[in-house]
């Protein structure tokens, strides 16, 4: 029992130092301006000269040139409700 408490305290301590649960403030992007904001983000990070691969209908992978290095860019549409565990059937 004491080992479980010690492990939980170690986890909480490391989690606090590493900042895994940093608070996030989402700011509103005006409607119909999302594509401009994404373009700005890519330009701001100097992402150029890309190759694309469509992993799935909701995931676009890019290999791009940035500051004389090849980098990976992942654009993923993630539905929040799919993350929750909802059992489809229960058997007894």
- For residue range 12-65, list pLDDT tens digits in order: 777 665 556 667 788 999 999 999 999 999 999 999 899 999 999 999 999 999
The pLDDT score that the predictor gives to residue 7 is: 79
Query: Residue 5 — pLDDT band, cuts 50, 70, 90?
Result: confident
CA distance 60 to 52: 7
The pLDDT score that the predictor gives to residue 82 is: 55
The pLDDT score that the predictor gives to residue 81 is: 56
Q: Are 53 and 61 in contact (CB under 8 A)?
A: yes
The pLDDT score that the predictor gives to residue 39 is: 94
Q: Are 58 and 80 in contact (CB under 8 A)?
A: no
């Amino acid at each position: 029992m004491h080992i479980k408490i010690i492990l939980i305290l170690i986890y909480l301590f490391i989690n606090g130092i590493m900042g895994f649960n940093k608070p996030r403030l989402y700011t509103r992007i005006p409607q119909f301006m999302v594509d401009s904001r994404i373009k700005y983000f890519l330009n701001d990070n100097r992402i150029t000269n890309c190759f694309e691969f469509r992993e799935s209908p909701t995931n676009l992978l890019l290999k791009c040139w940035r500051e004389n290095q090849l980098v990976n860019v992942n654009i993923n549409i993630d539905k929040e409700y799919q993350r929750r565990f909802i059992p489809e059937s229960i058997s007894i």
